[in-house]
């Protein structure tokens, strides 16, 4: 098959690895990290634009390297080519290899901040995609410069207080981490923020099944031309809507 993969850049290394080993020819396109900050409808519109640019008749299917991602894939319509989306809430589920494993870990480890290769190296110096996130990654100096000493300091504390509510940084290892640099960086971040640090083995088998065309209904939703992907609000995460 010839397939097109539209994926979040957070999964860059993992997707490239899987596609390089796929028996199918997969054309890759990566979109910027952080589209979920735009909100569900704007994110879906951005991905729809890329889907709509795909030439008709060139691919047997368009694969989506995403989960539901805060409803950012809700409403996406298949035009002339079927769309295939994993039944995942987000990329953390994909990196862990299953919905069940993600939910079990999530419920058993409250207050966890997740990192992976892409979550560390992608989006550094991220162009501000939306003013919804304005102020969240600014330094104390920048906030003081913008809002004055008193208000600037107050905003910096308010907008970074969430860090005290998290307890652990979990790095999901997929075996693609070069020479320990990602582990070291993740451990350093945990130390800086006063969080404990855990390494959890990831499982890329779900991503591999995406790019190898093994789309069982249990793991993937397939939207035929004219159908839309929609949030199902149940354990299947997403469904098809005609």
**By the rule CB under 8 A, 144 interacts with other proteins:** no
Q: In whole angstroms, how close is the CB of 229 to other proteins at the nearest point?
A: 13
Q: Which stretch binds other proteins (CB under 8 A): 114-122, 126-134, 169-177, 183-191?
A: 126-134
Q: State whether the Cα torsion 177-32-35-210 is positive or negative.
A: negative
Q: Which is nearer to other proteins, 150 or 217 (CB)?
A: 150
**By the rule CB under 8 A, 233 interacts with other proteins:** yes
Task: Let me know the angle formed at the C-alpha of 168 by 165 and 171, rounded to the nearest 5 degrees.
Answer: 135
Q: Which is nearer to other proteins, 2 or 136 (CB)?
A: 136
Measure Cα distances from 238 to 65, 89, 193 in Å.
14, 9, 35
Q: Which stretch binds other proteins (CB under 8 A): 14-22, 54-62, 67-75, 183-191?
A: 67-75
Q: Which is nearer to other proteins, 178 or 235 (CB)?
A: 235
CA distance linking residue 8 with residue 37, whole number of Å: 13
Q: State whether the Cα torsion 138-140-143-145 is positive or negative.
A: negative
CA distance linking residue 40 with residue 19, whole number of Å: 28
Residue 132 CB neighbours (<10 A): 11
**By the rule CB under 8 A, 139 interacts with other proteins:** no
**By the rule CB under 8 A, 66 interacts with other proteins:** no
Q: Quick one: DSSP state of residue 87? A: S
Residues whose CB falls within 8 Å of the CB of residue 239, separated by 6 or more in sequence, listed in order? 221, 229, 230, 231, 232
CB 90 within 8 A of CB 196: no
- Choose which of 52, 158, 184, 192 interacts with other proteins (CB under 8 A): 158
Q: In whole angstroms, how close is the CB of 91 to other proteins at the nearest point?
A: 12
Q: In whole angstroms, how close is the CB of 202 to other proteins at the nearest point?
A: 17
Q: Quick one: DSSP state of residue 3? A: E
Q: Which is nearer to other proteins, 96 or 210 (CB)?
A: 96
**By the rule CB under 8 A, 39 interacts with other proteins:** yes
Q: Which is nearer to other proteins, 148 or 201 (CB)?
A: 148
Residues whose CB falls within 8 Å of the CB of residue 176, separated by 6 or more in sequence, listed in order? 13, 14, 17, 117
Which residues 171-230 are close enough to bind other proteins by CB under 8 A? none
Residue 3 CB neighbours (<10 A): 23
Q: Which residues bind other proteins (CB under 8 A)?
A: 39-40, 68-71, 89-90, 102-103, 106-107, 110-111, 131-132, 134-136, 143, 147, 150-151, 154-155, 158-159, 162, 165-166, 231, 233, 237
């Amino acid at each position: 098959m010839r397939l097109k993969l539209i994926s979040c850049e957070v999964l860059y290394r993992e997707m490239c690895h899987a596609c390089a080993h796929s028996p199918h020819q997969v054309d890759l396109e990566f979109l910027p990290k952080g589209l979920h900050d735009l909100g569900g409808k704007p994110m879906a519109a951005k991905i729809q634009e890329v889907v709509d640019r795909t030439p008709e008749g060139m691919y047997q299917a368009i694969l989506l390297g995403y989960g539901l991602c805060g409803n950012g894939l809700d409403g996406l319509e298949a035009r002339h080519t079927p769309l295939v989306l994993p039944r995942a809430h987000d990329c953390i589920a994909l990196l862990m290899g299953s919905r069940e494993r993600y939910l079990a870990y999530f419920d058993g480890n409250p207050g966890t901040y997740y990192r992976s290769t892409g979550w560390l190296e992608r989006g550094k110096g991220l162009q501000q995609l939306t003013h919804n996130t304005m102020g969240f990654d600014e330094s104390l100096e920048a906030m003081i410069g913008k809002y004055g000493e008193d208000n600037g300091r107050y905003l910096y504390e308010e907008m970074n207080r969430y860090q005290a509510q998290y307890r652990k940084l979990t790095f999901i290892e997929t075996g693609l981490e070069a020479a320990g640099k990602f582990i070291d960086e993740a451990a350093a971040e945990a130390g800086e923020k006063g969080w404990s640090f855990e390494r959890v083995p990831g499982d890329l088998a779900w991503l591999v099944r995406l790019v190898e065309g093994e789309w069982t209904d249990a793991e993937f939703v397939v939207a035929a031309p004219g159908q839309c992907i929609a949030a199902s609000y149940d354990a299947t995460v997403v469904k098809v809507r005609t």
